[in-house]
Amino acid sequence: MNILVINGPNINMLGIREPGIYGKSTFADLLKLLRDTAEAEQIQIEQYHSNHEGDLVDKIQWAYGKVDGIVINPAAYTHTSVAILDALKAVSIPAVEVHISDVDAREPFRRISYAGMACVKTIKGHGLEGYREAVLFLKETYG
Ligand code: DQA
């Protein structure tokens, strides 16, 4: 099974950005969690990060015909991007939305998720472990 993990803007700043909200674990820790999960589950996990909306759309389009599932944290674009929503709908690959923080418990504008409208599941507020949960869900459901 091939899973693509996509992270949007500022996720590469984990460990530095707002540790009271996102925790002290770094982006490198997240990449290690993904490598360890891939090894433990005997699956392929490719990760992609960009701070740019169009690059995220390009990567979702690239995934068509190549991956079996997508884990996506569109970060701030979650709450604004119809383009990412449309890209996920266009490729029709099972996708799980992950948020490190509990977006429902924060500012009201974070309660709207465009990307989530094209996702089979949303995991929020579980920290980095949410990514592992998302991968396991895709493996159990579509693997
Ligand atoms: C986030 C939540 C978003 O509202 C925020 O813009 C992020 C990270 C999360 O993982 O909790 O950058 O997606």
Structure tokens at 115: 């990307």
Q: Which two tokens stand for residue 83?
A: 């383009």
For CA atoms 5, 142, 119, 69, the dihedral sign is positive
Give the pLDDT score at 66: 98
CB 34 within 8 A of CB 27: no
Residue of the CA atom closest to atom 2 of ligand 1: 75
Q: Provide the greatest CA pair distance for the chain.
A: 39
Pocket of ligand 1 (CB under 6 A): 10, 73, 75-76, 78, 99-101, 103, 110
Question: Mutate which of 72, 78, 129 to test ligand 1's pocket (most atoms within 8 Å of Cβ)?
Answer: 78
Report the percent of the chain where pLDDT is more than 70: 100
CA of 103 to the centre of ligand 1 (A): 7
Read off the pLDDT band of 29 (50, 70, 90).
Answer: very high
Q: What's the pLDDT band for 27 if we cut at 50, 70, 90? A: very high
Q: What is the pLDDT of residues 52-98, one digit of tens each?
A: 999 999 999 999 999 999 999 999 999 999 999 999 999 999 999 99
Rounded to whole angstroms, how far apart are CA atoms 123 and 129?
A: 10
CATH topology classification for 2-142: Rossmann fold (3.40.50)
pLDDT at 57: 99
Helix (H, G, I), strand (E, B) or coil at 100: coil
Q: What is the DSSP letter of 114?
A: S
The catalytic site residues sit at 22, 99
Contact 63, 70 (CB under 8 A): yes
Distance CA 118, CA 120 (A): 7
Instruction: Compute, in angstroms, the gap from residue 101 CA to the centroid of ligand 1.
Output: 7
